[in-house]
Chain A
Amino acid sequence: MIALDRTAPPKPGVIRHYDFPPVERRALSNGLDLRVARLGRLPVASVRLFMRAGEAALRPERAGLAVLTADALDGGTKRRSGTALAEALESIGARLDASTGWEGTSVDLYCLADRLPEAMHLLAELVCEPSFPEEEVERARGQHLAGLRQRVMDPGTLASDVALTRYYAASVPYARPLDGSVETASRLGRDDLAGYADANLRPAGGGLIAVGDLDSREVAALAEQCLGGWTGRPALAEDFAARADAETCRVVVVDRPGSVQSEVRVGHVGVARSTPDYFALSVVNLVLGGMFTSRLNLNLREQHGFTYGVRSGFSFRGQPGPFEVSTAVGNEQTAPAVREILAELSLMAEKGPTEEEVSAARDFAAGIFGIQLETSSQIGSRLTHLVVYGLPDGYYHRYRDDVRAVTVDAAVESARRHIRPGQAQIVVVGDASQVAGPLEALGVGPVEVRAVQPNG
């Protein structure tokens, strides 16, 4: 046997390609877009019902209503109490959870595949016949308001919430946290929730995604049986432009005396999910701050030891979501970290990534695709995106080819177009007496110091 040469990485073996599972698609009679992916590894079923009832369609004074409605949905149905519903689900080992995002409300169900018929009936009962008992609405509102209080006292969450108000003009829904504010949520009562649900938790334009050890015809028959009598289209729709709050760099320090660290956010309005630059920009972001070996992380963490970690990301939504760099750094390292972040943004915006970086990021994105689509829930979540953002059916089957097709020129061009350090808004939550002076000395823009507001 030849002695082992450890000096170079071993060559890869024979490649076995990841195949996105085949998806069967059909329209239910009520307009729901049904997609079923068969995954026979384990006897499980992951089902997601997506309805186009999201926070982005709500007027500012109603902010938080869709989230609160989803939170109170499991409070009871016309047939049974919230506890009885939970008992019925849990006795068959089913987990059911409703949640709301900008674009819509989802009800997620996970159970062993042979329990799906019973579980689907319970899901349908929850969605089609919610009763919103007064005390359950109070419970959900109390939790919601207490949760908003927690957001303000958690430095990282506070920084993210304040940053949104600096990126977006006040009238834009994305300027507020999904949950709304204490002011808006306090006013919401049982009739608001019941009225919202009746008008907006409707099937048309939504999707039913089922992944697991399932037969698509059986799922279709079950869905028709459970949800076929449920009809209509959500009443509200998004209608806004994602305008920026400012065109030049500004710094705000939210004073949190005694902080041993600063939470830092640097960002601006980004791009919508529908951008033709999606793949190129995803590659650019991987290079900038989307991997462990990104420029930002190697600089701030591995070279300077400023932080435990730093990331950047584009939040691709129906309208342009934020582009943001986020990190937490020591007090003395706050201004130097902001300086380094802005320098990395400028370098990326001016010159873009190198050939080698683009190549590495493409390989990462293509390789990790299969690892991120290992479980039924992960596949279900991605399939839901096809419905939410109106992407073509073959999107994920072509994904790796599309990401591998990103050229250096396209990456450089998309970096130049979408990363705009001159418009970056800088938010620091930390001890102003220690960090405001050095931030002022950076000279990147006006520095405002403010106290923590009850609403962030």
Chain B
Amino acid sequence: MSRLHVPFERHRLANGLKVVLSPDRTVPIVAVNLWYGVGSRNEPTGKTGFAHLFEHMMFQGSAHVPKNKHFELIERVGGTLNATTWFDRTNYFDTVPSHHLELALWLESDRMGWMLPAMDQAKLDNQRDVVKNEKRQRYDNQPYGDWDERLQAMMYPPEHPYHHTVIGSMEDLEAATLQDVERFFTTFYVPNNAVLTVAGDFDRDQALALIGRYFGEIQSGGALPPIPGTIDLPAKLGATVRDHVVADVPLPRVIMAFRTPPFSADDFATAEVARALLGMGRASRLYRALVRERRVAKSVVTYIYPLLTGGSTLLTWATGYPGADLDALEQALSEEIEGLADADQAEVDRAIALAETDLVSSLERVATRADLLSMFELYFDDPGRVNSELDRLRAVTVDQVRAFARERMGADNRAVLTYEPRAEVAS
């Protein structure tokens, strides 16, 4: 049995806005968290990066809130705020001392309902420059900075919405117009495409009344357009797909990725446990074998994307030592991944124990609680998944993990991206 239970209740306003409330009065902090069902997957050709640029525009003011005022008001009361854009969604979050709940609801409702009157060309040009610098700082000027762009292009065909990155291309950002902002807002930033979660220190009846007051009069939007492109994917890539890069990187690196079922599929849990056996903790297979025993890797990373659309990706990477042979590094990584077909119960038990600690740890913050509740409500109409996640992982058997390794991690379902340091010029 799980040792934690996050309380929550669900509501729905007449305009379609879904509301999740999760009280915890132990600390006088409250988190206001909004997930909109729009992300980079909704961008058609020629508009890549727009969902993220739009997220920046959401901080440029609304009818009753001047530019920078959202940040100023939240910081004035000692709160924090931010937003992120991803493939399937965009989230906005404010954490404030609990007596300022109404302020956060006012700000979030104003931009959900009345953003457009505050938009102008100067703001768009300014934030376009900011985003271009974000792209340079986080991707273009970084060693290995193009890895996710290259990997996505290998994992998803050109007609699939995950083929392009969230940050998008400079050309598409350049082409964005105020009319795009208006269309995007009226199409996607509508209450019937959003979840509002309030978690932490609040009075339930009062919060519900305030939410009705501030969000209730926002007009419902129309039906959402279909996701552009072709969503369906075969269960496997069908081959080992390769890309090799010679670049100004400090160390050789092998990135090996596998197509998995989508986050919504029952057997996604098996992929999560398989990933944990490979790379969670220092007793995990890749750390133990590649870093500690064979000492062929300086570090290893594993990650599984919780993506909804057609299929998702399980990722492993190994960073080698200077001068390491990439083929040998790939071979070593491959051997340990294939070794997963002999996984044992003790490994699974350790993975579940660590997953439990990590989940409880993440729930120490009301902002994370709110974020998880919003995600599960938006994705699965089931915020209670926050309480059943561990049981879902516990239900995975070692035989399922072994079968997953055999059937889903073989040569017919791999993308391999390798980075080779450019030869140094003798000085």
Give me the interface of A with B, judged by CB distance under 8 Å.
4, 6-18, 40-44, 74, 82-83, 86-87, 89-95, 110-112, 135-136, 138-139, 142-143, 146-147, 149-150, 152-155, 259-261, 263, 291-293, 298, 301-308, 328-330, 360, 363-371, 374-377, 451
A68, B356: Cα distance in complex, Å: 30
Chain A residue nearest to B78 (CB atoms) is: A367
Which residues of the partner chain A approach B231 to less than 8 Å between Cβ atoms?
none
Residues of B within 8 A of A92 (CB): 353
Known interface pairs A91-B353, A371-B95; A6-B295 also in contact (CB < 8 Å): no
The chain A residue with its CB closest to the CB of B62 is A6
What is the minimal beta-carbon distance from B142 to any residue of chain A, in angstroms?
7
Would A90 and B141 be within 8 Å (CB), given that A9-B103, A13-B101, A292-B75 are in contact? no
Q: Scoring B residues 93 to 122 as 1 if CB is less than 8 Å from chain A, else 0, what string do you get?
A: 001111111110010001000100000000
Contacts of B3 in A (CB 8 A): 43, 112
- Partner among B133, B322, B364 whose Cβ is within 8 Å of the Cβ of A375: B364
Residues in A neighbouring B353, C-beta threshold 8 A: 90-93
Q: How far is the CA of A94 from the CA of B346 in the complex (A)?
A: 15
Chain B nearest CB, measured from A401 CB (Å):
14
Give complex CA distance A89, B96 in Å: 36
Task: Work out how many contacts link A and B, with CB atoms closer than 8 A.
Answer: 230
1/0 contact trace for B105-149 toward A, CB 8 Å?
A: 010001000100000000001111111111011101111000000
Taking Cβ atoms with an 8 Å cutoff, the residues of B that contact A are: 3-4, 24, 26-29, 63-64, 67-68, 71-73, 75-80, 95-103, 106, 110, 114, 125-134, 136-138, 140-143, 201, 213-214, 217, 248-251, 281-283, 288, 291-293, 295, 298-299, 319, 321-322, 346, 349-350, 353-354, 356-357, 360-361, 363-366, 427
User: In the complex, which residues of chain A have a beta carbon less than 8 angstroms from the beta carbon of B131?
Assistant: 308
Residues of A within 8 A of B114 (CB): 6
**A364 interface neighbour in B76, B98, B106, B132, Cβ under 8 Å:** B76
Residue from A43, A112, A304 with most neighbouring chain B CB atoms (10 Å): A112
How far, in angstroms, from A328 to B134 measured CA to CA in the complex?
Answer: 9
A308 surroundings in chain B (CB, below 8 A)? 130-131, 133-134, 137-138
A351 CB, nearest partner CB in chain B, Å: 21
Q: In whole angstroms, what is the CA distance A364 to B248 when docked?
A: 42
B133 touching A306 by the CB < 8 A rule? yes
Cα distance A234–B326 in the bound complex, in angstroms: 44
Given A18-B27, A374-B29, decide whether A150 and B78 contact each other with a Cβ distance below 8 A.
no
Q: Nearest Cβ distance between residue B189 and chain A, in whole angstroms?
A: 17
For A21, the closest partner residue in chain B by CB is B27
Contacts of B217 in A (CB 8 A): 4
Min CB–CB distance A427 → chain B (angstroms): 16
A142 to B299, CA, bound (A): 11
Q: How far is the CA of A367 from the CA of B76 in the complex (A)?
A: 8
Q: Which residues of A contact B130 (CB under 8 A)?
A: 301, 305, 307-308
With contact pairs A86-B282, A260-B136 given, residues A44 and B361 touching in the complex (Cβ less than 8 Å): yes
Contact A155 B283 (CB under 8 A): no
CB-nearest residue of chain B to A4: B213
Please determine whether B251 and A149 come into contact, CB atoms closer than 8 angstroms: yes
B29 touches A370 (CB 8 A): yes
- Name A257's closest neighbour in chain B (CB-CB): B248
CB neighbours (8 Å) of A16 from chain B are 28, 97-99, 201
B42 to A: closest C-beta gap in Å: 23
Q: List 22 A-B contacts (CB under 8 A).
A: A6-B64, A9-B103, A10-B106, A13-B100, A40-B26, A43-B3, A90-B353, A91-B349, A91-B350, A112-B356, A139-B295, A146-B251, A146-B298, A149-B251, A153-B249, A259-B141, A260-B141, A304-B129, A305-B129, A308-B138, A374-B364, A375-B364
Max chain A CB contacts within 10 Å: which of B24, B100, B319?
A: B100
A residues less than 8 Å from B366 (CB atoms): 374
Q: Nearest Cβ distance between residue B284 and chain A, in whole angstroms?
A: 8
Contacts of B201 in A (CB 8 A): 16
From known contacts A17-B28, A83-B288, A95-B354, infer whether A374 and B365 are also in contact, taking CB-CB under 8 Å.
yes
